[in-house]
Amino acid sequence: MTRVLVPLAQGCEELEAVTIIDILRRADIEVVSAGLDDGPVTASRGVRLLPDKTLEEALSQDYDMVALPGGLPGSDHLADDQRITGLLRAMNASGRFVGAVCAAPKVLARNGLLEGKQATAFPGVLQAENHPDITGNAVTRDGTVITSRSVGTVMDFALAIIEALQGREKRDQIEASLER
């Protein structure tokens, strides 16, 4: 079964986190949400999320992808966490997927995962990281890196993940079920 890790940092964007988890689970992808800290995560607008596991527990498994929800200061916490940055580098080095939405693409940029790649993010985020190849699209896939612009594009981001991991037919099936 395909497995995706969604790390949850204090101050993450709740709509992004929940949408990624929900849409991927609809596609029968095993999603593991993992808190950087023990206990509930208080998201950027005060919603409390209960991760499936701690990050320490989650790191004992292998993943086909790591998908980072954005939000502030959540994205900064992800960028500062050596466990996350090490995992992202290892995923990239082994040819597995990494993805990030909104402010979280800066985590990928700071770890060299966007070098030579097209990407998108919340306006200004990648410019601040001096990333030269910003598409401005809702979702950009360049090889095994998938990025998305904002909370308004997170559903498209989740569908792009499904397509990358399970194919266009599965993506179309899940997208059609959302429209009914």
State the catalytic residues: 102
Paired strand residues for 76:
none
Coil, helix or strand at residue 180: coil
- Token pair 């080095």 is found at 93
Contact predicate 27/174, CB 8 Å = yes
Dihedral sign, Cα of residue 16, residue 21, residue 22, residue 23? positive
Contact predicate 97/161, CB 8 Å = yes
CA 35 – CA 58 distance, rounded (Å): 9
